[in-house]
Amino acid sequence: MDPLFEHIAKKSPRGIPYSEAVQLMLLFYVTLDVLPEEFHGLALTKQRLAMVFSQLAVRRLVLFDAATARSAVGTACGDPSRPEHWEDLAERLLRGKVTLDDAFLKRASRYV
């Protein structure tokens, strides 16, 4: 199993709300600063992050309900248990269609 997946799963055994998981994944995509030092050597590609977050969703550690489903509709794949969902979010970030929540940086330590 991926060490980043294991770390997040251990730190957040009750799960992460979908909107927070999106912010966490996007933050990892642009910076390693929020990660513990031991993870700074990981190659966090879009594909690796997508796999980690899709596996979190498969294990029901991404809390996805009807209210948050509406925010996923704009992605190419609305199913967060599929890596394509997370890859699309990264692409949308690069195109300026989604943004990072500046306030999330203060909350990120809850999950990593």
In residues, how long is the chain?
A: 112
Q: What is the reported pLDDT for 76?
A: 56
Q: How far apart are the C-alpha atoms of 7 and 26, rounded to whole Å?
A: 17
Answer left, alpha or beta for residue 15, where phi above 0 means left and psi between -120 and 50 means alpha: left
Three-class SS state of 22: helix
Q: Torsion angle of alpha carbons 92, 95, 33, 22, nearest 10°?
A: -20
Q: What is the reported pLDDT for 23?
A: 95
Residues spanned by the domain of 66: 3-110
pTM for the predicted model, two decimal places: 0.88
pLDDT per residue as tens digits for the range 76-106: 567 889 999 999 999 999 999 989 999 999 9
Collect all residues with Cβ–Cβ distance below 8 Å to 112 and sequence separation of at least 6: 7, 8, 11, 24, 34, 35, 36
52 and 85 Cβ atoms separated by less than 8 Å: no
Q: How confident is residue 1, by pLDDT bands cut at 50, 70 and 90? A: confident
Q: What is the reported pLDDT for 77?
A: 66
The number of folded domains in the chain is 1
Q: What is the reported pLDDT for 60?
A: 95
Strand duo 62-63 + 16-17: pairing: parallel
Please tell me which residue, 32 or 55, carries the higher pLDDT value: 55
pLDDT per residue as tens digits for the range 25-50: 999 999 988 999 999 998 999 999 99
Q: What is the reported pLDDT for 70?
A: 56
